[in-house]
């Protein structure tokens, strides 16, 4: 995803301890921190600029007991140097297995989040920014206990 104040720079992948970035201007990939392919968090929304750096919503892919795909969503916070600051616990908006978040915007004190359910049903949510972040950041551990917002 594009980095708001770094033209031609994109985050290609996020891991709990690092990021892989693509510099379009120089046509090269760079890795910051530790890239652990088995812990890939992907599918970032556009990044929001924050007072500490940046923030995005990303997802990983897991399979349930019946081998069906399931996305788990995370708020990922980056420091100004793009090192990973915090990853929220997994969250979802519905009981559907595939929620693909495409929109993550600020509107005053609110956050707008747009997603698509099962690649066909679009939804748009509006949350108070502080309340939303408080809910998803109750723990910094990435574990299997999802919350439904």
Round to whole Å and give the CA distance between 58 and 64.
Answer: 19
Q: Region 32-42: what's the mean pLDDT?
A: 59
Q: Point out which residues pair with 112 in neighbouring strands.
A: 105, 126
| pLDDT tens, residue by residue, 79-121 | 888 888 888 888 887 776 667 788 899 999 999 998 887 777 8
Round to whole Å and give the CA distance between 74 and 131.
Answer: 15
Q: Region 46-58: what's the mean pLDDT?
A: 87
Question: What DSSP designation does 26 have?
Answer: T
Per CATH, domain 9-148 is 2.115.10.20 = yes
DSSP 35-64: --GGG-BB-PPPPEE-SSEEEEEEEEEEE-
CA angle 65, 88, 43 (to 5 degrees): 70
**For 118, how many CA atoms within 13 A lie in the half-sphere containing its CB?**
6
Indicate the pTM of the whole model. 0.74
Q: How confident is the model at residue 17 (pLDDT cuts 50, 70, 90)?
A: low
Q: Which of 5-14, 103-112, 128-137 is predicted least confidently?
A: 5-14
**Annotated domain spans of the chain:** 9-148
């Amino acid at each position: 995803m594009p980095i708001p104040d770094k033209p031609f720079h994109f985050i290609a992948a996020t891991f709990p301890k690092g990021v892989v970035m693509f510099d379009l201007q120089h046509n090269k990939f760079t890795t910051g921190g530790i890239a652990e392919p088995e812990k890939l968090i992907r599918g970032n929304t556009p990044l929001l600029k924050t007072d500490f750096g940046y923030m995005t919503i990303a997802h990983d892919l897991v399979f349930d007991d019946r081998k069906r795909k399931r996305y788990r969503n995370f708020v990922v916070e980056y420091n100004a140097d793009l090192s990973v600051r915090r990853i929220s616990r997994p969250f979802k908006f519905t009981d559907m297995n595939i929620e693909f978040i495409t929109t993550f915007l600020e509107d005053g004190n609110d956050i707008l989040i747009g997603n698509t359910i099962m690649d066909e049903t679009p939804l748009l949510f509006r949350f108070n920014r502080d309340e939303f972040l408080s809910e998803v950041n109750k723990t910094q551990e990435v574990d299997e206990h999802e919350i439904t917002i």
